């Protein structure tokens, strides 16, 4: 009898295993004994809603909305804008450490397209975007406000995508490096020492 029951158990187990009773995926919400507000009514991104006439659940924030984490006094540092205008000047301290950080970040994120000197001749232009990548050493880009360059890094422009994941202070570091490159490519002769100038004069 004991052997029979054992054999029966093995056969039953084998039959169940063969039938594929291994648990399966379910679209239904799991049974919740203590819900703890884990599921609540909500709209998923790009879902529809009958509430608004255009049926879109995604809404543009009311104009003038400031994200809770932005202190209005800090707005320029985080947006590059002062009210609705581009701001100029650096809201962070420009130090040689910041420039070094900017040089590194620029090398990682920008130089592939904009080139190491910012002339718009990065390695990518050998394959695509030739003549499209902006040249920082043009008058138009020299005259961009610091805030506009800051904003462009996060949001992109035209065929350039944005890099919103670069932290705000790193973006300012990059802006500082862009300014450094612009200066380096258009430095007045008067900035050089007499010794340097005489070196250049010798053929
Ligand atoms: C994939 C290539 C690519 C990368 C990487 C890239 N850019 Fe650009 N960038 C472009 C192109 C293309 C344009 C020209 C866009 C246009 O005017 O349509 C441009 C334009 C710009 C402009 C000019 C915006 C204006 O108002 O005309 C700035 C400033 C700029 N880029 C900064 C940066 C910085 C800083 C980085 C690094 C964080 C960066 N870009 C990374 C391709 C790139």
Query: Would you say the CB of residue 176 lies under 6 angstroms from ligand 1?
Result: no
Query: Would you say the CB of residue 175 lies under 6 angstroms from ligand 1?
Result: no
**Interval between CA 105 and ligand 1 midpoint (Å):** 14
Query: Would you say the CB of residue 154 lies under 6 angstroms from ligand 1?
Result: no
| pTM of full prediction above 0.95 | no
Query: Would you say the CB of residue 114 lies under 6 angstroms from ligand 1?
Result: yes
What residue's CA is closest to ligand 1, atom 40?
110
Q: Give kind and range of the element (H or E) at residue 60.
A: none
Point out the ligand 1 atom lying closest to the alpha carbon of residue 129: 12
Point out the ligand 1 atom lying closest to the alpha carbon of residue 174: 35
Mean pLDDT taken over the chain? 90
**Interval between CA 74 and ligand 1 midpoint (Å):** 25
Among 6-10, 18-22, 48-52, where is mean pLDDT lowest?
18-22
Residue 131 pLDDT greater than 70, yes or no: yes
The domains of the chain, with CATH numbers, are 73-185 (1.10.760.10)
**Interval between CA 9 and ligand 1 midpoint (Å):** 70
Distance of alpha carbon 153 from alpha carbon 121, whole angstroms = 18
Residue 21 pLDDT greater than 70, yes or no: no
| Per-residue model confidence as pLDDT tens digits over 32-57 | 888 888 888 889 989 999 999 999 99
- Assess contact for 137 and 119: CB atoms under 8 A: yes
pLDDT score at 39: 81
Residue 153 pLDDT greater than 90, yes or no: yes
| Per-residue model confidence as pLDDT tens digits over 163-177 | 989 999 999 999 999
From 88, 133, 134, give the residue whose CB has the most ligand 1 atoms within 8 Å, as the site to mutate.
Answer: 134
Residue 201 pLDDT greater than 80, yes or no: no
| Per-residue model confidence as pLDDT tens digits over 66-93 | 777 677 778 899 999 988 899 999 999 9
DSSP H stretches of helix in the chain: 2-18, 75-79, 96-109, 111-114, 139-142, 146-155, 168-185, 194-201
Residue 95's pLDDT band (cuts 50, 70, 90):
very high
Point out the ligand 1 atom lying closest to the alpha carbon of residue 171: 38
Token look-up 């529809």 returns 48
């Amino acid at each position: 009898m004991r052997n029979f029951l054992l054999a029966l158990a093995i056969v039953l187990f084998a039959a169940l295993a063969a039938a594929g009773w291994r648990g399966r995926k379910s679209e239904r919400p799991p049974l919740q004994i203590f819900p703890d507000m884990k599921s609540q009514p909500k709209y998923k991104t790009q879902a529809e809603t009958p509430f608004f006439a255009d049926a879109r659940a995604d809404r543009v924030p009311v104009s003038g909305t400031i994200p809770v984490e932005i202190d209005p006094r800090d707005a320029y540092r985080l947006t590059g804008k002062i009210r609705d205008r581009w701001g100029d000047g650096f809201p962070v301290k420009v130090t040689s450490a910041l420039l070094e950080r900017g040089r590194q970040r620029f090398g990682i994120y920008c130089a592939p397209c904009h080139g190491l000197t910012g002339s718009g001749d990065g390695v990518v232009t050998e394959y695509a975007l030739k003549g499209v990548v902006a040249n920082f050493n043009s008058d138009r880009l020299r005259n961009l406000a610091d805030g506009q360059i800051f904003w462009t890094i996060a949001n992109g422009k035209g065929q350039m995508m944005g890099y919103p994941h670069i932290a705000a202070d790193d973006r300012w570091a990059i802006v500082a490096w862009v300014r450094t490159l612009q200066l380096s490519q258009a430095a007045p002769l008067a900035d050089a020492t007499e010794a340097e100038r005489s070196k250049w004069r010798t053929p």
